[in-house]
Every structure is written in structure tokens, then in C-alpha cells.
Amino acid sequence: QVQLQESGPGLVKPSETLSLTCSVSGASVSSGSHYWSWIRQPPGKGLEWIGYIYYSGSTNSNPSLKSRVTISVDTSKNQFSLKLSSVTAADTAVYYCATYIPQGGSFDYWGQGTLVTVSS
Amino acid sequence: QTVVTQEPSLTVSPGGTVTLTCASSTGAVTSGYYPNWFQQKPGQAPRPLIYSTSNIHSWTPARFSGSLLGGKAALTLSGVQPEDEAEYYCLLYYGGAWVFGGGTKLTVL
């Protein structure tokens, strides 16, 4: 059973960079069996796909966020990370990490999510 | 800007059947959009139900099924239970990018 846990600051100032980490257990980020993805949900609103990364470092991200998003993987710690630069209040959301299997297009396992508030 | 549209809200009686749909602003939804469906209850992470149009996860109750219907992706709940009251989101693939629908709030009444 794959388990994911998001961690990072709950409060970020406007114009700064949001940084989150997803710790993975029950699977290896370097196994090649999954891609590792980020999804967010503003309070009271719908879900938005942010992007994903393969252990090789290959990434893909939402065109609307692409210029501000960096997703990386740390195989030594079995973690992957999200950085979102130049944040504004519109980036306030619950951020989820999840697994993605491209063969079949399935987002199988999700973390519990972590709320990040952008405010001065 | 690609838009994925779902019914904002639906109401169903316990034991009844309801179909939620997912439409694309680009045209008919096909299997190549790999439709996914998720259930989300307040304060919880989304729970995957269906992937690639009609494939269920090992934890998905048998009363949930996915299909293509009239150019849209569809999620059908048969024999609805009170615990099925939730928000339901669809997700479509657009050649490298994924787009969520706005969600359907399902009320069981």
C-alpha cells in the first residue's frame, strides 16, 4: 500500500516561493512504476492539476502554472517536491501529492493534503 | 482555455440510480481522454473511483460504474447509499495536460 504525506510551511508571503515535500512509503520513487504528481484545491473550490515528475527527472506541468512551477525528485530520501514561485493570494489552497500511472491514466494514491495560505 | 463541465448539483433518493456527466469544450469525450472520476467528502482528500473511462480501483464499490454516453464521460451510481453524498470530480487528459471538471455535488435525499 502506497502512502503519501505532504509537508511544508503553512504560511507563505506574497511574491515568495512556496515549497512542499511529499514523503513516499510503500513504493520507491525510483522504481519507475509511477509518476509523482501535485494537485491543489483552493478553499471551497475545485481541483487543479499542477504537474508530475518521473524518477528520471522528466516533468510535465499545467500550462497555466508552468512558468512558476518546479517539481523535483530526491531518490535518496524517497521524496518529491514542489516549488511555486511568485505566489499570490490566488495560490492559497490545499496541496495534494498523488501517484500517477500513465498506462491507463490513473491517479491511484493521494496524500491527505496540506493547506498553504499566502498572506503577509 | 479548455473547460470541462459537470452538472453543478444533482439529487437522488436512497436506492435510486443517478448518472453524472463530464463534457469537454473541445468536443466529444472519447476513451483517449482517459476519464477519471473522484469522490470527495468534506475535509477529506479525493478518493479515486474510476480511471480510463470504466476501470474501477480495487476499493471502488460495485455500485459505481463509468462509461461514455452521448459524447460525454459518465459516472453511474446504482442503488445509491446515504454515504454516497459527496462532491464528484471528473478529470480528462489533453495530450500531456490534465483538466478537472468543476465538480458535481450529489445530495442523497
Per the CB < 8 A criterion, the answer to whether A119 and A89 are in contact is: yes
SS3 B21: strand
C-alpha cell recorded at residue B36: 477519471
Enclosing H/E stretch for A40: strand A35-41
Asked whether residue A102 carries a pLDDT value surpassing 90, the answer given is no
pLDDT band per the 50, 70, 90 thresholds, residue B88: very high
The predicted-structure confidence for A55-88, as pLDDT tens digits, reads as follows 899 999 999 999 999 999 999 999 999 999 999 9
pLDDT band per the 50, 70, 90 thresholds, residue A105: confident
Query: What does DSSP assign to residue A34?
Result: -
C-alpha cell recorded at residue A51: 504537474
Tell whether B94 lies on the interface with A, counting CB pairs under 8 A: no
Tell whether B31 lies on the interface with A, counting CB pairs under 8 A: no
Which residues of A are less than 8 Å from B8 in CB distance?
none
Question: Which of B50, B51, B98 to mutate to probe the A interface, most A CBs <10 Å?
Answer: B98
The residue to which cell 482528500 is assigned: B45
Q: How many of the other CB atoms lie within 10 Å of CB of B17?
A: 12
